[in-house]
Amino acid sequence: MNLNHVGAVAHRIVRQMLRDRRTLVFIVAVPMVVMELVGLAFPGDSRILDRMAPALMATFALFFVFLLTGISFLRERSQGTLERVMASPVSRLDLVVGYLGGFILFAAVQSLIILLFTVFVLGIRYQGALWQIFVFQLVVTVVALNLGLFVSAFARNEFQVVQFIPLVLVPQVLLSGVLLPTDQMPAYLKALSKVLPLTFAVDGLNGIMLQGKTLVDVGWDLLILAGFACVTIVLGAISIRRSAAT
């Protein structure tokens, strides 16, 4: 891996994103609007929102970052930028790590907005250190970034990226403990939930925010998410080769 190539790709992504005002509005405004709607949906008993907040934060971080990365990378392909970059000496690993480095800045901002809005505007009660919650969210963000890169290789337009949401994200919401604890699911669904990254994201954030655990205490969830991140980095590199070929 050539760090100069990685830095050049990341720098180009950052400059391109900063010029796209609509995307910047999406990154900043949409999470706040959605979280405000979540707060309005639980006006009576704040204890329900306190219990639901970690799972919702993990879900929205995964959803928004997946959508941001998938659509942005699709534009790279449709505008011919990816093909031109692939013609240079940059390797596929340099590309995927460079894209990760460029997008992660904006994805981290989005995750931070979700966290701060949930804690300080919605006023949820939580345990654990705020910085540890954010670090855990960042790991979830990396998984979502690379998942978005991979899935976008199979889409031909932005509408098709959105169509992947019911296939990739909705099953995770239904089976990862966001709506129903996995312990209450049938055995085959519980087994299926163990291969979904959102399951470990929800479990880890619940541990930190509801039980006061540290990053060390949720180390197993972090390790599994890191494994998902490594796998999706490889899949992202494969998808870049496929995208350039198509």
Say yes or no to pLDDT of 100 above 80: yes
Nearest to 229 by CA among 144, 123, 129: 144
At residue 194, the 3 state secondary structure works out as coil
CA–CA dist 44, 103 (Å, integer): 38
A 10 A CB-CB count for 246 gives 8
H-assigned helices in the chain: 3-19, 21-41, 46-78, 81-86, 92-116, 130-152, 158-163, 165-168, 170-175, 187-193, 197-211, 219-245
H-run or E-run covering 105: helix 92-116
Say yes or no to pLDDT of 124 above 70: yes
Nearest to 13 by CA among 105, 127, 80: 105
A 10 A CB-CB count for 34 gives 16
For 165-209, the pLDDT digits (tens) are 778 888 888 888 888 888 888 888 888 888 899 999 999 999 999
pLDDT at 224: 94
Question: What is the distance, to the nearest Å, from the Cα of residue 121 to the centroid of all Cα atoms in its chain?
Answer: 22
Say yes or no to pLDDT of 49 above 80: yes
* φ and ψ at residue 90, rounded to 5 degrees: -70, 130
pLDDT at 86: 66
DSSP 117: I
For 135-151, the pLDDT digits (tens) are 999 999 988 888 888 78
At residue 123, the 3 state secondary structure works out as coil
- Residue 106 to residues 2, 142, 144, 186, 210: CA-CA distances in angstroms? 23, 12, 13, 38, 27
At residue 244, the 3 state secondary structure works out as helix
CA angle 182, 170, 51 (to 5 degrees): 45
Say yes or no to pLDDT of 242 above 60: no
